[in-house]
Structure 1
Amino acid sequence: MATGATLHTFALSLSDIDRGAYQELELRLARHPSETTEFLITRLLAYCLEYEEGITFSDGGVSSTDEPAVLVRDLTGRITAWIEVGAPDSDRVHRGSKRAERVAVYTHRDPAKVLAQLTGKRIHRAETIPLVSFDRAFIEAAAAALERRNTATVSVTERQLYLELNGTSLSTAAEEHHLA
């Protein structure tokens, strides 16, 4: 018998001073059995750092081959932002860059390895695509604090990320690299 997805709920307060985004969110994230807790935390942080009207987690989540982990649609349903998480292959990033005005990749992995995997590959507008990475210890500590029902505060100022998750306070810089 196959194991189903684990549902995680978040009562989240977002204060992104850098972008002027302030929101109280109630989020439900399904963690697929093949998805690591670190991937789920990175997916949540990507959502917060990219937050704008029309943002959503993709229907297929980690198992989707047609959509990224997070995307933004305008009122007509057109995809305006394609946000990949982890270490996506170059074909996915290329396809996303052709479909959306803006693309970003968020990773909890070694950014040098992710960049090496994508460098030299055919990726539409690669020079405009940021790769945002988080400190490994930060992601591991956040993953250790994760529960099924979560209370979280995410604050961003000058690309410094502050996360309080279920009483655990953490901070890190969101380091930005570019694919080309």
Structure 2
Amino acid sequence: MAIGATIHTFEVQLADVDRGVYEEFSLRAARHPSETEAFMVTRVLAYCLEYEEGIAFGAGGISSTEEPAVLVRDLTGSVTAWIEIGAPEAQRLHFGSKLADRVAVYTHRDPAKLLASWEGKTIHRAEDIVLRSFDQGFIDGAVAALARRNAVSVSVTEGQLYLELGDAVLNTPIHEHRAG
């Protein structure tokens, strides 16, 4: 953890009907000084939406070149899911796609611009990479409700995300785009 990182805690109630995942867990997220709150909220949402045994935040956070922001390891330690946040370079996706069985990107930015930035670049199994985004203003609404200690309810049903964070109640469709 970098000097000056701000720790946020989340008590999460997750009900992902679409995947059949129902869990309650505590999550600590260190926000590096160079990381925006929007990036961190997107990172926490990606963790929740990808939740499964072996999930963890990447060791280096946003400054790591060796690991993504979120990853899943199996019992042998092999990376099975490489999950990027924001606007990763095509080269990182290429690397992650060669290393892991599955790659996903969650962005709080314009997905069309991100997809355009990958066009014509070499990305291993690009057609299998899923880019997920949210309605404009959704992440900003979550950032406005963010505190150092947070009670969070995340529900997903039929591709719709419902988020209760503090006093805020937000919802958005989870938009899926393909990289290839």
| Distance in 2 separating the partners of 1:60 and 1:67 | 7
Which string of whole-angstrom CA distances, capped at 9 and with x for unpartnered residues, describes residues 81-136 of structure 1?
00000000011000000000000011000000110111111000000101001123
Please tell me the residue identity of whatever aligns with 1:135: D
Please provide the CA RMSD for this pair: 1.0
Structure 1 vs Structure 2: percent identity of aligned residues? 66
Equivalent residue pairs, number: 179
Aligned to 1:122: 122
| Distance in 2 separating the partners of 1:72 and 1:63 | 18
Aligned to 1:26: 26
Aligned to 1:38: 38
For structure 1, list consecutive stretches of 5 or more residues without a partner in the other structure. none
**SS of residue paired to 1:136:** coil
Aligned to 1:136: 136
Query: TM-score, normalized by length of structure 2?
Result: 0.98
- Could you list the structure 1 runs, at least 4 aligned residues long, displaced by more than 2 angstroms after superposition: none
Please tell me the residue identity of whatever aligns with 1:11: E
For structure 2, list consecutive stretches of 5 or more residues without a partner in the other structure. none
Please tell me the residue identity of whatever aligns with 2:95: R
Which string of whole-angstrom CA distances, capped at 9 and with x for unpartnered residues, describes residues 24-48 of structure 1?
0100000000101100111011111
Pair 1:176-2:179 in alignment? no
Aligned to 2:81: 81
Pair 1:102-2:116 in alignment? no
Give the CA deviation at 1:58.
0.8
Give the CA deviation at 1:3.
6.0
1:137-176 map, 5 Å: 137-176=137-176
